[in-house]
Amino acid sequence: MKTTIALATLLTAPMVQGACQYYPGMGPAVAHALLDARIVVSTLALPGHLLYSRTIPGAATALECTAETVMSSGWATPMEATGQEGVYATTVPGVGLRVVQQQPLETQFWPRRDVRLEPSHATPSAAYVVELVKTGPLQEGRLRLPPAGVTRRYGALEATALRFSQADIDIVLNKPTCDVAADSQQVTVNLGQRDTRDFTGPGSTTQAVPFSLRLACEGGGGGDSLFVHLTLSDASDPGNRTTVLSLRNDATALGVGVQVLRSNGQPVSYGADAGHVGNPGQWLAGAVVAGQRSFEVPLLARFIQTGNTVTPGTAGALATFTFAYN
């Protein structure tokens, strides 16, 4: 039996890549995005929430394609997906990048979007919106921007583009900030006049006098707390690492020193006059939450007998204090 095999072939016309040209007086429209160098973001935002937005104005162009061609739009270099449509990972954890072209209104994707077009004309604009979107737990860091940005091509013509004018931006969490309050820049604690009979031997102490150090704070709203650390230093003996503050050089009393106590009664150990976290003698004084305007560190001061006998005289002492934050 004779059989016949029918072969069918589908023939398509090739794309004409050179079939598009600008109208007279027109050419590529390129916008340059300059974002804020420092962007403060809130950790209270939910995933998908807009953290930052900047509208980038740009000119329009006009072109005509006289044959069927391909319009290609999207990122110029590969981008890492985040699971949110049109949002791509950055060098800062929790912060994603999205770009939306305004005319035509279109989110930019990777891989790029390729569309076959019939002969027609187009008037795209290089106006864009650049957005930062929360994709997960936020961290501070330096966000590096893809310099090539996004483009829109008609055949061989790159009609519109967005380039980033800066290499990177700093992402900062919205934490409170504090400084020493005006009434705590210099604190005088009057320990009063004491009789030598108040001291009964080495280690004996007088009644403690309360005082405090205060910070003036502002800002926050990002859900983060500012942890406050405090170090007291002996101004008369900077190398002192004991719990007894030396008397000033002009003091005339002998056999006594000064102790500063934390609110729980624990004597403060003196440390170096340094502002980094982890300084010897430093302790965690507490935390400042968003919106808190003042933070106070309650302390106590008292005389302590350091010698076998106490000689009457003046007994001034001087300490400095340094706050550190994280």
- Tokens 């519109």 correspond to 160
- Report the phi/psi class of residue 201: left, alpha or beta, with left for phi > 0 and alpha for psi in -120 to 50: left
Q: What is the pLDDT of residues 161-205, one digit of tens each?
A: 999 999 999 998 887 888 899 999 999 999 888 888 888 899 999
Task: Identify whether residues 128 and 180 lie together within a single domain.
Answer: no
* SS3 call for 8: coil
DSSP-derived 3-state class of residue 184: helix
Same domain membership, residue 180 and residue 160: no
User: In a 3-state reduction of DSSP, which class is residue 319?
Assistant: strand
Cβ atoms of 125 and 28 closer than 8 Å:
no
Higher pLDDT, 325 or 49: 49
- The DSSP bridge partners found for residue 116 are 70
244: tokens are 């007894």
What local confidence, expressed as pLDDT, does residue 18 receive? Answer: 64
Segment 3-50, tens digit of pLDDT: 333 333 333 334 444 689 999 999 999 999 999 999 988 877 889 999
For 267-302, the pLDDT digits (tens) are 999 988 877 787 888 889 988 887 788 999 999 999
Q: How many CA atoms lie within 13 A of 122 on its CB side?
A: 26
- The tokens for 92 are 């800062």
97 near 131, Cβ under 8 Å? Answer: yes
- Quick check: 222 pLDDT over 70? no
Beta-sheet pairing, 157-164 with 29-33: parallel
Residue 4 covered by a domain? no
Half-sphere exposure of 261 (CA within 13 A, CB side): 15
Query: Is 5 within a domain?
Result: no
Is residue 294 one of the residues assigned to a domain? yes
Token pair for 163: 């380039």
Phi, psi of 179, rounded to the nearest 5 degrees: -145, 160
What is the pLDDT confidence band of residue 244, given thresholds at 50, 70 and 90?
Answer: very high
Question: In this prediction, what percent of the chain has a pLDDT beyond 90?
Answer: 62
Please indicate, yes or no, whether residues 142 and 243 belong to a single structural domain of this protein: no
- The whole-angstrom separation of Cα 242 and Cα 244 is 6
Residues near 93 by beta carbon (within 8 Å), at least 6 away in sequence = 136, 137, 138, 139, 141
Statement to judge: residues 246 and 193 lie in one domain: yes
| Number of domains into which the chain is organized | 2
pLDDT at 223: 61
Residue 237, C-beta contacts closer than 8 angstroms, at least 6 positions apart: 246
Q: What pLDDT, on a 0 to 100 scale, did the predictor assign at position 277?
A: 83
Residues 6 or more apart in contact with residue 36 via CB below 8 angstroms: 52, 54, 169
- Dig out the tokens for 161 from the structure: 């583009």
Last residue of a domain, which of 136, 152, 173?
173
The pLDDT tens digits for 84-117 are 999 999 999 999 999 999 999 999 999 999 999 9
Residues 198 and 321 in one domain: yes
pLDDT at 142 over 50: yes
10 belongs to a structural domain? no
CA 162/CA 108 separation, integer angstroms: 11
- The range of the structural domain enclosing residue 317 comes to 176-325
The secondary structure element, H or E, covering residue 273 is none
What distances in angstroms separate CA 76 from CA 16, 108, 160, 165, one per listed residue? Answer: 22, 10, 12, 15
Domain-terminating residue out of 153, 173, 193: 173
Do 156 and 214 belong together in one domain? no
The lowest-confidence range among 56-60, 200-204, 283-287, 322-326 is 322-326
From 173, 203, 222, the end of a domain falls on 173
| CA–CA distance, 166 with 198 (Å, rounded to integer) | 69
End-to-end CA distance of the chain: 90
Q: Kindly state whether residue 13 falls inside one of the protein's structural domains.
A: no
70 found inside a domain? yes
The verdict on residue 203 lying in a domain is yes
pLDDT interval class at 221 (50, 70, 90) = low
The domain spanning residue 203 has which CATH number?
2.60.40.1090
Residue 2 within any structural domain of the chain: no
Average pLDDT of the chain to the nearest whole number: 89
